[in-house]
Amino acid sequence: MSSEGGSDDHVVSLRDVEVHFESDSGLFGFGGDADVVKAVDGVSLDVPENDIVALVGESGCGKTTLGKTAIGVQRPTGGSVHYEGQDVWKAKDREGDVSIPHEEIRQSLQIIHQDPGASLNPNKTVQHTLSAPLRIRKPGMDTFERRDRIHEMLSRVGMEPPDDYAKRFPHQLSGGEKQRVALIRALLMNPDLILADEAVSALDVSLRIDMMDLMLELQDEFGTSFLFISHNLSNASYIAGKADGRIGIMYLGELVEIGPIDEVLGNPQHPYTRALMWATPNLDPDIEDPPDSPLRRIDVPDPRNPPSGCRFHTRCPEAREVCTTESPDLYADGASDAEAACFRVLDDHEYWDSPELDEEGDDRTDLVDESDHGGLADGAAE
Amino acid sequence: MTTMQPTDVSTVEDPIFEVRNTSVSFDMARGESNVLDSVSMDVRRGEVLGVVGESGSGKSMFASALLDAVVDPGMVTGDITFHPESGEPVEILGLPEDEIKRIRWEQIAMVFQGAMSSFNPTMTVGAHFEETLSVHDRPVEAGMDRARDLLSELYLEPAQVLGSYPHELSGGMKQRALIALALVLDPEVLVMDEPTAALDLLMQRNIIELIKQIAAERDLTIVFITHDLPLVANLADRLAVLYAFEFVEVGPAYEVLTGAKHPYTRALLNSTPNLDTPREEMQPIAGAAPDPVSVPDGCSYHPRCPLADERCVEEDPPLDADDPADDHAAACHYVERVREEIPLTLQEVRRHE
Ligand SMILES: Nc1ncnc2c1ncn2[C@@H]1O[C@H](COP(=O)(O)OP(=O)(O)OP(=O)(O)O)[C@@H](O)[C@H]1O
Ligand code: SF4
Ligand code: SF4
Ligand SMILES: [Mg+2]
């Protein structure tokens, strides 16, 4: 159909995407050589039309950078990003045959920011902010129709009474309310893909499913796809699960597990996915979940100096010697559609004969023997 | 101290705090805004009390009232009695400024919402500890030893963290350093208002486990305030639910989670994303929480409650249990109908398994 992995039934396709940032200030005060943060390091991902893909990982794992790359606002330092088969950055640079102009790509790929406060103009009322996308997308609407549409959307996200909220300025809104305005603004652009970056995390727990249901209705009605980024597996599971979508788990710039949501959560293959599931609080007090962290380290290693081999080995409870030198690809076990970047997926990998790591540097044993190794910057210290 | 027979649920044996008829109000152009409406609640010595409620329900007002730290021009009224381990009970409200300042940090420490930015960016983390110790006339050297112990317990490398500036630490490290700072004077109570909200779940869960251990080891009383019910579900001994500036339910955490008595708490449980709850069964709560200048008459939940009738519109239900010995109660006229008429999704699922 089309070249370089870009396909017409995917809204966006990412191939071997790398986003490497130069940084100078040392987070941990260690002087390393060239400080390059590999925020995204060799990720391939397709977002199909009319689908929901959730990306989950800890803060700093690169999920926001990957999301921004997918909607064409972050230029990758390697690999390619296609929108409906068109290379996004070739369109931007007017390179080769451009089938879809960059302007159109940008309108079709929208974002709801993590910090809506920063994205709303402080000098504009809600009404004013929300009129702008309607003017672009529905030039035929008159002022009254626009007002009605905006009021309808405000009510729908729980901002009652809507005429009161429509007159407010951002500083008169709570964080959650700003977030809702940002969602409405993106929705009114009628895009093909919305990057929702922690878009419901700021909302009250009781409002989250309402908001996610709203996104799902829209996806259904207009075929809008969502790239839903969250550190919260419950939210990701709710929205991607209802849409029969997929979930990708990220760790230190890499995708470590990806697959249909129910397969990944029903049978997590990667030890990191299991750690995230451990961290997801359960409302059922009858479920005895182990209190001890399955991680050997609490803190994420310094991303400027990620661990050798499997990047997760410094925290992985299953790590063996081979994990410190060799780095796993995404493997499928054949039984499911999910893939995980862990040697344990392969029955015949040398991992199984490799010696276990000694317990030094395990936060869990540190507590017991009161030795003095802290959990800081283990990656950097190696 | 005399031990009281519990007569209503806000009373507990051996309370460290007794909060009675406490209100917070603001004079606003739109009218008087009652952001905490005559609440009564005890905190038991040594417990972890989880206070949950939606954004704007008054959680932070409750937390600040405990320390008489409500921001100006907020007005606090009522009685809050603090019972220290040794010594006379202290009436918190109306205490002279220097005395309340001494009690804060030394006896009642706090980690407040947005506190991540409460480190001074121009001072090392270590300097914050030294300053806190010397302001409160504690021997700095012994205090710093204690600081190092606390940091290690929180899985931080003491020398490194103490020598760092706040911006050199990740969010999770900063938050743990702040918890250590709050504990360095060995307080009896730690009040935490959304202490982990800015962190990802993995770090939140790790910190919660650490808080649990520390609370158990040090007989610390913790008031943990959050909008995120599942987060405290595993941590709290008792849960108190705030709705529209009032407590609507309080009880042992297990009982509240598995047998909530108030329609709002049940709706909250059914609307909370949870891995084990079938997605199709989750229900958002209809309607919106009230504005503090116009709280509905009678039961303030009545506009959203599926069970509401005339009586609910007219009579404000008190927070008490049918049986005075019961330590689980809800402010609802129809507690006995709730179980039938508002099933708890997760419990239903369990029953049919
Ligand atoms: N300085 C102020 N002046 C007037 N009203 C205020 C002020 N600060 C807070 N309020 C109001 O008091 C009510 C309760 O606020 P509070 O901060 O206790 O809520 P909360 O439950 O902690 O919410 P959140 O989860 O958003 O932190 C809200 O309606 C809020 O708008
Ligand atoms: S490859 Fe090794 S270190 Fe990496 S996740 Fe698998 S077991 Fe753990
Ligand atoms: S008192 Fe009435 S309105 Fe209030 S919670 Fe109970 S049934 Fe609902
Ligand atoms: Mg608050």
Q: In this complex, do A291 and B209 lie within 8 Å of one another by their Cβ atoms? A: yes
Residue A367 has pLDDT above 50, yes or no: no
For B207, which residue in chain A has the nearest alpha carbon?
A298
Query: Residue B317: CB within 6 Å of ligand 1?
Result: no
Mean pLDDT of chain B: 89
Residue B1 has pLDDT above 60, yes or no: no
* Least confident residue range of A176-185, A256-265, B223-232, B288-297: A176-185
Rg of chain A over Cα atoms, rounded to whole angstroms, equals 22
**pLDDT for the residue numbered B325:** 76
**pLDDT for the residue numbered B7:** 43
Q: Which of A113-127, A189-203, A268-282, A293-307 has the highest mean pLDDT?
A: A268-282
Q: In this complex, do A367 and B153 lie within 8 Å of one another by their Cβ atoms? A: yes
Give phi and psi for B117, each to the nearest 5: -90, 5
Summarised one tens digit per residue, pLDDT across range A171-209 is: 888 766 787 888 889 888 889 999 999 888 877 787 788
- Pick the closest to residue A112 from A56, A47, A51, A189 (CA basis): A189
- Pick the closest to residue B255 from B273, B237, B272 (CA basis): B237
For B231, which residue in chain A has the nearest alpha carbon?
A281
Q: Is residue A42 within 8 Å of residue A250, measured between CB atoms?
A: no
How does residue A372 score in pLDDT terms, banded at 50, 70 and 90? very low
- Pick the closest to residue A117 from A170, A167, A180, A157 (CA basis): A170
Q: ∠ CA(B6), CA(B214), CA(A283), 5° rounding?
A: 65
Report the half-sphere exposure of B206 (CA within 13 A, side-chain side).
Answer: 27
**pLDDT for the residue numbered B231:** 87
How does residue A146 score in pLDDT terms, banded at 50, 70 and 90? very high
Q: Is residue B231 within 8 Å of residue B208, measured between CB atoms?
A: yes
Average pLDDT over residues B247-274: 94
- Pick the closest to residue B134 from B167, B105, B114, B156 (CA basis): B105
Q: CA B225 to CA B229: how far, in whole Å?
A: 10
Average pLDDT over residues B184-195: 93
Residue B114 has pLDDT above 50, yes or no: yes
How does residue A364 score in pLDDT terms, banded at 50, 70 and 90? low
**pLDDT for the residue numbered A260:** 96
Q: From B27, B57, B196, B247, give the residue whose CB has the most ligand 1 atoms within 8 Å, as the site to mutate.
A: B57
Q: CA B334 to CA B308: how far, in whole Å?
A: 9
Give phi and psi for B248, each to the nearest 5: -105, -15
Q: CA A230 to CA B293: how far, in whole Å?
A: 35
> What is the enclosing helix (H) or strand (E) of A42?
strand A36-48
Q: Which ligand is nearest to the CA of A322?
A: 2
Q: CA A73 to CA B153: how far, in whole Å?
A: 42
| Cα torsion through A316, A319, A324, A326, rounded to 10 | -110
Average pLDDT over residues B322-326: 75
Instruction: Please count the residue pairs, one from chain A and one from chain B, whose beta carbons lie less than 8 angstroms apart.
Output: 172
Tokens of residue B129, six digits:
């500890």
User: For residue B205, which residues of chain A lie inside 8 Å, CB to CB?
Assistant: 278-281, 293
Query: What are the structural domains, with CATH classification, of chain A?
Result: 10-26+33-123+169-378 (3.40.50.300)
The DSSP secondary-structure symbol of B320 reads B
Average pLDDT over residues A68-85: 95
Helix axes A175-188, A205-222, angle to 10 degrees: 0
ipTM computed for the complex: 0.85
Q: CA A376 to CA B161: how far, in whole Å?
A: 9
How does residue A235 score in pLDDT terms, banded at 50, 70 and 90? very high
Q: CA B83 to CA B160: how far, in whole Å?
A: 38
Residue B29 touches partner A, C-beta closer than 8 Å: no
- Pick the closest to residue A15 from A40, A39, A52 (CA basis): A40
Q: CA A11 to CA A249: how far, in whole Å?
A: 20
Average pLDDT over residues A74-90: 95
Q: For the whole model, what pTM was predicted?
A: 0.85
Q: CA A199 to CA A194: how far, in whole Å?
A: 11
Residue A1 has pLDDT above 50, yes or no: no
Residue A24 has pLDDT above 70, yes or no: no
Q: CA B47 to CA B222: how far, in whole Å?
A: 6
B73 preceded by a cis bond (ω within 30 of 0): yes
Which residue's alpha carbon is nearest to atom 1 within ligand 3? B332
Q: Is residue A253 within 8 Å of residue A40, measured between CB atoms?
A: yes
Q: Which of A99-113, A118-132, A258-272, B92-106 has the highest mean pLDDT?
A: A258-272
**pLDDT for the residue numbered A289:** 66
Helix axes A143-156, A126-137, angle to 10 degrees: 120
Residue B150 touches partner A, C-beta closer than 8 Å: no
**pLDDT for the residue numbered B275:** 86
Q: In this complex, do A375 and B157 lie within 8 Å of one another by their Cβ atoms? A: yes
Q: CA A159 to CA A55: how far, in whole Å?
A: 28
Identity (one letter) of the amino acid at A90?
Answer: K
Residue B149 touches partner A, C-beta closer than 8 Å: no
**pLDDT for the residue numbered A193:** 95
- Pick the closest to residue A331 from A344, A319, A320, A321 (CA basis): A344
**pLDDT for the residue numbered B78:** 95
Summarised one tens digit per residue, pLDDT across range B276-319 is: 888 888 888 877 788 888 899 999 999 999 999 999 999 999 99
For A161, which residue in chain B has the nearest alpha carbon?
B288
Q: Is residue A62 within 8 Å of residue A235, measured between CB atoms?
A: no
Tokens of residue B277, six digits:
């709850």
Q: CA A232 to CA A240: how far, in whole Å?
A: 12
Residue B3 has pLDDT above 60, yes or no: no
Residue B110 has pLDDT above 70, yes or no: yes
Mean pLDDT of chain A: 85
Residue A236 has pLDDT above 90, yes or no: yes
Average pLDDT over residues B244-259: 95
Summarised one tens digit per residue, pLDDT across range B326-335 is: 899 999 999 9
Q: Is residue A331 within 8 Å of residue A345, measured between CB atoms?
A: yes
The shortest C-alpha distance from B273 to chain A (Å) reads: 6
Which residue's alpha carbon is nearest to atom 11 within ligand 1? B35
Tokens of residue B152, six digits:
């290690």
Query: Residue A249: CB within 6 Å of ligand 2?
Result: no
Percentage of the residues of chain A whose pLDDT score is greater than 90: 54
**pLDDT for the residue numbered B8:** 53
**pLDDT for the residue numbered A8:** 56
Q: Is A287 exposed, middle or buried (0-12, 13-18, 19+ CB in 10 A)?
A: exposed
Q: How many CB atoms lie within 10 A of CB A22?
A: 9
Q: CA B273 to CA B278: how far, in whole Å?
A: 9
Q: Rounded to the nearest whole angstrom, what is the distance from the C-alpha of residue B37 to the centroid of ligand 3? A: 17
Residue B9 has pLDDT above 80, yes or no: no
User: For residue A370, which residues of chain B lie inside 8 Å, CB to CB?
Assistant: 152
Q: Is residue B15 within 8 Å of residue B41, measured between CB atoms?
A: no
User: For residue B226, which residues of chain A lie inside 8 Å, CB to CB?
Assistant: none
Q: From B322, B332, B338, B341, give the residue whose CB has the most ligand 3 atoms within 8 Å, as the site to mutate.
A: B332
Query: What are the structural domains, with CATH classification, of chain B?
Result: 8-107+187-341 (3.40.50.300)
Average pLDDT over residues A114-134: 87
Q: Is A106 exposed, middle or buried (0-12, 13-18, 19+ CB in 10 A)?
A: middle
Summarised one tens digit per residue, pLDDT across range B121-151 is: 999 999 999 999 999 999 999 999 999 999 9
Tokens of residue A163, six digits:
């005429």
* Least confident residue range of A135-149, A160-174, B44-58: A160-174
Q: E strands, chain B, where?
A: 15-28, 31-44, 48-53, 75-82, 90-91, 108-111, 189-193, 221-226, 238-243, 246-252, 329-330
